[in-house]
Amino acid sequence: MDETLSNPFARFADWLRAAEASEPNDPNAMILATATPAGRPAARAVLLRFWDESGFVFYTNLESRKSVEIAANQSVALLFYWKTLHRQIRIEGTASAVSDDQADAYFAGRPRGSQLGAWASAQSRPLESRAVFEAGLAETEARFEGATVPRPPFWSGWRVEPAYFEFWQDQKYRLHDRDTFTRDGAGWTVAKLYP
To the query of whether residue 174 is one of the catalytic residues in this protein, the response is yes
The arithmetic mean of pLDDT across residues 118-130, rounded, is 92
Phi, psi angle pair for 126, to nearest 5° = -55, 140
Q: Which domain holds residue 64?
A: 3-104+154-192
What pLDDT band is residue 19 in, cutting at 50, 70 and 90?
very high
pLDDT band for position 1 (cuts 50, 70, 90): low
SS3 at position 108: helix
Q: Is 51 among the domain residues?
A: yes
Task: Flag whether 140 is in a domain.
Answer: no
Catalytic residue among 130, 151, 159, 174: 174
| Domains in the chain, number | 1
CB 82 within 8 A of CB 88: yes
DSSP SS3 for 37: coil
In a domain? residue 125: no
Q: Supply the Cα-derived Rg of the chain in whole angstroms.
A: 19
143 lies in some domain:
no
Q: What per-residue confidence (pLDDT) applies to 124?
A: 86
Mean pLDDT of 73-81: 97
Q: What is the pLDDT of residues 137-193, one digit of tens each?
A: 999 999 999 999 999 999 999 999 999 999 999 999 988 999 999 999 999 999 999
* 55: in domain: yes
- Do the domain assignments include residue 142? no
Residue 50 in any domain: the answer is yes
CATH code, domain carrying 44: 2.30.110.10
Per the DSSP assignment, residues forming a β-bridge with 76 are: 93
Name the least confident of 5-19, 81-95, 121-135: 121-135
Is 99 among the domain residues? yes
Cα 153 to Cα 80, 100, 118, distances in angstroms: 29, 9, 10
* Mean pLDDT score, 92-104: 98
The pTM for the full model equals 0.94
pLDDT class for 4, splitting at 50, 70, 90?
A: confident
Asked if 113 contacts 66 with a C-beta cutoff of 8 angstroms, the reply is: no
